[in-house]
Structure 1
């Protein structure tokens, strides 16, 4: 294998299909660094229900982007994007192969396609939207989004208040519909 060709390996699939075990088996064989592509593994102390490698495995086969923040802290797709790009670049500097392992397909999609240029979060508007949800239902929020941007609404579960509110926030902030990818 030519280690100077800046190859990045994606090892993806559903939870508990053997991705981590396979990554640990090939870790030394290809001079790799494992970078987690899992939206749950970034959180410290979230060890149950996440299929997180145990302490021994993490010591023997270090995983980047595991246990980096607490659950009460925010971590977005954009955070992952920039963190992953930084780790990939560090691998290249060390002449190692970035081995991206996990099942969060949106993270892979963002790495392949880049980020969509969206406005910064508008806390005032977010609070108004969540006040609306308190007095109404997520179904009403969904109906409101459907009237404004049916393409986004069709791609969001009517109970996913976070994605619904972000789509509305983008619309109310920019006057533009959220780009669906």
Structure 2
């Protein structure tokens, strides 16, 4: 289904302090909508200062979703967010409401609209085991493990890039497939992908920097650094 004024999913992005939240709330109120966050910092719980999460006053009665719901100790990927966001979008639209996406993490939005390949949800126990191997045996041992099961991925990674090496091993052990074999397999985009329209705010730089400076001062005043 192509986008029309009546079914368009509005996505609002832009630099910090550019007024994204205020505009998203105004749009949601005008459209009888709800807001879905795509900021990769605001998703985490327990981190209030410096994340610029909208306050109850700023939300002004408009429901906001995917804010403060992920434990900071959990590895949460863009693919995880895209799955959660797609589910939330369908839920909101099923209630007859419009969706307004807002945030500054373009990679999240791109992953929602144009998935790269199907990847399994993070297995926390498997990741912990691999991290323990890394701690005990070092990068080289973990890299040799990857060379044995997925030489193609190993050839693309530096042996010291433990994050990517672990992710490739996770994919292999969870799916039985080499991640190098699926890199170029695009997953089907969600049915609403072509209805998303992105609007990027680009305020005057001097005004923007003044706002950023004031917000930074407020963060320090509120206890960012003790």
Q: TM-score, normalising length from structure 2?
A: 0.60
Alignment correspondent of 2:105? 104
Cα separation, partners in 2 of 1:48 and 1:151, compared to 1, 3 Å? farther
Cα separation, partners in 2 of 1:19 and 1:141, compared to 1, 3 Å? farther
The answer as to whether partners of 1:37 and 1:102 remain within 8 angstroms in 2 is: yes
The answer as to whether partners of 1:44 and 1:67 remain within 8 angstroms in 2 is: yes
The answer as to whether partners of 1:170 and 1:176 remain within 8 angstroms in 2 is: yes
Aligned equivalents of 1:44, 1:122: Cα separation in 2: 20
Aligned equivalents of 2:124, 2:100: Cα separation in 1: 36
Cα separation, partners in 2 of 1:51 and 1:136, compared to 1, 3 Å? farther
Larger radius of gyration: 2
Aligned residues: 176
Aligned equivalents of 2:107, 2:141: Cα separation in 1: 27
SS at match of 1:91: helix
Alignment correspondent of 1:89? 90
Post-superposition offset of 1:63: 1.3
Alignment correspondent of 1:176? 178
Alignment correspondent of 2:209? none
Alignment correspondent of 2:153? 149
Q: Which has the higher contact order (CA 8 A, sep 6+)?
A: 2
Aligned equivalents of 2:12, 2:121: Cα separation in 1: 31
Post-superposition offset of 1:145: 6.1
Alignment correspondent of 1:70? 71
Cα separation, partners in 2 of 1:10 and 1:139, compared to 1, 3 Å? farther
Alignment correspondent of 1:22? 23
Q: TM-score, normalising length from structure 1?
A: 0.71
The answer as to whether partners of 2:35 and 2:100 remain within 8 angstroms in 1 is: yes
Post-superposition offset of 1:108: 0.9
Post-superposition offset of 1:166: 0.6
Cα separation, partners in 2 of 1:170 and 1:93, compared to 1, 3 Å? closer
The answer as to whether partners of 2:154 and 2:165 remain within 8 angstroms in 1 is: no
Post-superposition offset of 1:36: 0.5
Superposed CA RMSD: 3.5
Structure 2: gaps spanning 5 or more residues: 185-226
Aligned equivalents of 1:123, 1:92: Cα separation in 2: 32
Aligned equivalents of 1:8, 1:2: Cα separation in 2: 9
Post-superposition offset of 1:62: 2.7
1:32-43 to 2 correspondences below 5 Å:
32-43=33-44
Aligned equivalents of 1:97, 1:176: Cα separation in 2: 39
